[in-house]
Structures are given as C-alpha cells and as structure tokens.
Chains A and B, each alone.
Chain A
Amino acid sequence: MTTAPPLRRDALRDPLARRRVVWLLAALVIAWPMLQLSGFAPAALFSPGNLQVIGSFLAGFLPPETSPAFLAMLGKATLETLAMATAGTALAFAIGAPLAFVTTRALSVSRIGPGPGRVQAGVMRQAGRSVLMVLRAIPEIVWALVFVRALGLGPAAGVLALAITYGGMLGKVYAEVLESTDTRPARALMESGSGRLAALVYGLLPHCGQELISYTVYRWECAVRASVVMGFVGAGGLGQLMDQSMKMLNGGEASSILLVFLVLVLLADALSNALRRLLA
C-alpha cells in the first residue's frame, strides 16, 4: 500500500463557495426592502379587531346558496366562463405557438456552423421576442376593460383579452421549454437537412410534449380564474355573477360560486394528469 501524498490545503476548496455566499447575502439584502415596501406585516392579521372583521365576513358565506333559480344562473355562468377560458386559451395557443416556433433558439438552422443568414435570423428572433413581451406586458384585465368598451358587456371581451396576454405567455414559455430540453436530436436532424418544422415534431416534441401540454392546461386553469377578475369589469361568466353577489352582500351565493371554482380547478388538474399519462 502506498500512502497518498499529503493534501494541499487549497486542493479541496470549492471554487464556487464564496460566490454562493455572496449571492445568498445579495438575495437577502434585496428581499428585505421589498417586504418593507409592500407593507408586509402578518401580525396585523391576528389583532383582535381584525380577526372579528374577517370572521364575520367569512361567516356570511355560510351556508352556500342552493336555490334552483340561482343554480340555473350559476350553471349558465359556469358554461360561459369555461367557454371564455377555452376559447381564450385556444386563441392564445394560435398566437403563441407560431411565435415560439420563430423565437426559439433550439430550432435555429443558421447557428449550425454557424451558417448563412445568422444575422437575419437573430433579428427575426429578437423581433418575435419583443412581440411576445408586448403581448404579455399589459395585464388581461386592462385589455378586458378596453374590449368591454369596444365590444360591449359579455364574454367576447374576455376571450380577446385572454388571447392576447396568454398568447404572449405561452409563446415565451414554449420557446424556453424547447430550449431547455435536450436539443441534440433536433440539431442532428437539421444537420442532415431536415426543415425546422420536421425537426420540431421529430426531435423536440417527443421529448418535451408532456411539459408543453401540462403548461398549456395550467394556463387554461389560470384563464378560468382570470375570467373571474375580468367578470368584475363586465366580461361575463362566473366573475360577473360573483360581482353581483358581492355587491348585494350575498355571501351564500359567493360561496357557491367559489365551490364551482374549486371543482373547475380539480377538473383542470385531472385533465392535465390524463393528458400527461396519455403522452407518457
């Protein structure tokens, strides 16, 4: 047996250790003023006066309203909300998917080599990315306010608002998911002359299809929730119903509506799981 040579002291020093400590401290230094700025003081929630206010507010929600007339209205509003979320997400997909296809670096032919047209392709990608940024920079509620003015009260305004904002989000995340997956299969295909679209469906989608589906269904779920907020500004559906109930201080109706939300979210979850299993 030979003995190992004595270790030099700095041989075992992790070169990343110092950088990690610095970043951790920086994160704390940045986060603290943020908490201060946002007036975050959880203790206020539990002061006796506030507890009572919250308690009586919540007590007003019981029992949930179950009269047939209200349930009929609820059913119609639920359908409206589902239609709004589904149509909005479908349109958002139609906007986001092509933009992701244009902007993702994972499908860049000109980067192989690098080959001809690299500058134009870079400009194109950047332009696409800017479009996505503008689309998602303005909150859907603002779009909804605009469209309610233009199109009148009802779900149509909500659909358009969702399509625009969510199109921007879907496009951005699609492009990034495609880049963070294993891009070698697609690159190998493009290196043997395949087109971008073929490289996408043969090289990338088999790998990250699940993730894209899961994110899309999650966005649909978000759209269901967002449609509530937009309902408050007159875009129809459960949100508008909720707005009326709250204005009339009818807690029972509000809690029935919230229960429907719970069911919808559960539904979205089940749908997402089923689709992922299908693709696994």
Chain B
Amino acid sequence: MSFALGEVGLVHPNGHRALQGVSLAARDGERLAVIGPSGAGKTTLLRVLGAALRPGEGTVRLLGEAPWNLAAPALRKLRSRIGTVHQSPPIAPRLRVVTAVLSGRLGQWTAMRAMASLLRPSDLEGAHEALARLSLEDRLFDRCDRLSGGQLQRVGIARVLYQRPALMLADEPVSALDPTLADATLQQLVAQSESTGATLVASLHAVDLALRWFPRIVGMRGGQVVFDEPVGHVTEPMLAALYASEGGLPMQARGEPLPVVSSGPFATGAAIPVARPDCL
C-alpha cells in the first residue's frame, strides 16, 4: 500500500472546510489523476498526501507509516521519500537551474554535501539527465529567473524526477505548458512512475490529459471524492455532473472528442479509445 486515507477531513485555519470524509488508497506504482472544479480540494488533498498538512479528522498512512505519529527525524525521512511538483514552482529566483534540480535530493544528502554542492554542483550528470528528459538540458547553468513560466515549471518537475521519490505528487504539473509539451511532460512523469515503481498522484485541470495518461480517475467536488473509477468507467455524464458549476469541461486540446464512452454507467473498459502517444 502506497498510501491510505481514512475519512480524512480538514478545516483550514480561516474556517474554510477543504476536505470532508475523504477515503482514498493506492497500491505501490499506481497512477491516479485527481480532477474537479477549482476549489474542490485537490491541492489540499495533495498536501495531505505530502505530509505537509495535518488533517484534523481521519487517518493518514503514507508509505507504510503514520506520519503524524512519527518523531521529527523519522518524519523528515518519510518526507524525503515523497516528491511534490508544486503548481507554481517554489524555487528561489537567483538559484541556477542545476542547483534547483539538485536540491531535490537535499533530504537524502548530509548538510556538508548540500553546502559543498552549492559551490560545486555535486551531481552534474544527474541534473543533466533529469533536465534532458524535459528537453531543458541547454538551460543547465542558467539562472531560474531567466526562465519562462513553462520552463520554470519543468525545472520543478525535473527536481522531483531527480529526487526519485517513492510517492510522486503533482499539483497541476503542466498548467503553464502548451499541449505538445504538456503531453511530453506527463509522459515523463508516467515513465518515471513505471521505471521506479513510484506511485503518481496528479491533479489536473485538463480533463482530456487526465483521461489520456492515467488509468485511475478520482473526481473531487466540494472537498469530497465524488467518484473513483478506472478510466474506462468514467462517462460523460459523470464528468458533466462534476463540472456542472463551471459551464463546460476544461480541456487542453479543444475540438477533439473526449476519450470516453458517451453513455452507460458501466461501459466496458476494453474499448477505451485512449490515444497514448508512447503506446506503452
């Protein structure tokens, strides 16, 4: 079991209830997309899974541990095995790209190595390899404030790829990327999950991307899980109900038909017209 949430509820300090009775579990190596209208609690859910927010209600188990019963050193160790791609990459602007990527492993490095790496990057090949997977290797020595929003977002992803966590969380990881890059980037996250056996949970705004890249779809609305189905069981009416208040489905590529069967609550999973560019 990679993670298991039991009846998790969370109220933010300002009194806003972000999660209510959320139960969600995933096996090692599973890939989930979390979709839902904005304000549905997707980010909060990911922060709970990242041991960054402690829910007031319910139980949390991450990578076989109960994070909030751990002592500080064990919690730190657990956190170093969880990697998060943040929606707006929290990277200090004056940092060089290579340093920003290498900082993914700060949780595994000693303080001495961290200091030394600041003067002389300690794993140039590793950083180069992670960036190359996102076609950013030519920006290795650039400063992060010289990058565009989309490039910075990919640096944030490269950092997590370099971290090689056992649980990868991604909060709108491709929101600043054009459709082609978004596809290629999600492909890399999926490939990393497949090669390292890491569980991948991504919240995605674009429904078509979620359906194309993730075998399991979790629909959230108002802080609750509305549905949690294999991608073949997701139907248009389910999506329409999920986004009822938004007035239409948010999509990455307009004009293309959604890769779902248009009706029937239990359509067969065999005939999913899911077009995955890499055909894995």
Contact = CB atoms under 8 A, between A and B. Distances in A.
B94 interface: yes
B49 to A, nearest CB: 11
B203 to A, nearest CB: 16
A201 interface: yes
A187 B90 contact: yes
Interface residues of B, number: 39
Given A112-B52, A117-B72, A191-B52, A202 B109 contact: no
A265 B84 CA distance: 48
Contact of A191 (B71, B79, B115): B79
B111 A197 contact: yes
B70 A198 contact: no
Select the residue from B81, B92, B95, B163 with max chain A CB neighbours within 10 A.
B92
A276 interface: no
Given A113-B53, A116-B70, A199 B92 contact: no
Interface in A167-212: 182, 184-185, 187-195, 197-199, 201-207, 209
A195 B54 CA distance: 20
A204 B75 contact: no
A195 B106 CA distance: 7
Nearest to B144: A206
Contacts of A112: 51-52
A182 to B, nearest CB: 8
A98 to B, nearest CB: 14
A116 B75 contact: yes
B136 to A, nearest CB: 19
A230 B76 CA distance: 48
Contact of B114 (A187, A191, A202, A206): A202
A114 interface: yes
Contact of B86 (A115, A188, A199, A201): A188
A110 interface: yes
Contact of B72 (A115, A188, A189): A115
Interface residues of A, number: 32
Nearest to A207: B92
Contacts of A191: 50-52, 79, 84
A153 B75 CA distance: 54
Contact of B79 (A110, A182, A193, A279): A193
A203 B52 contact: no
Contacts of B104: 192
Interface in B85-106: 86, 90-95, 99, 103-104, 106
B232 to A, nearest CB: 34
In the A-B complex, list the 8 residue pairs whose CB atoms are closest, starting with the nearest.
Answer: A193-B107, A193-B80, A194-B106, A206-B92, A193-B79, A184-B90, A198-B114, A188-B90
Interface of A: 109-110, 112-117, 182, 184-185, 187-195, 197-199, 201-207, 209, 279
17 contacts: A115-B75, A116-B75, A185-B95, A188-B84, A189-B103, A192-B83, A192-B106, A193-B80, A193-B82, A194-B106, A194-B107, A197-B114, A197-B115, A198-B106, A198-B111, A201-B115, A209-B94
Interface of B: 50-54, 68, 70-72, 75-84, 86, 90-95, 99, 103-104, 106-109, 111, 114-115, 118, 163, 165
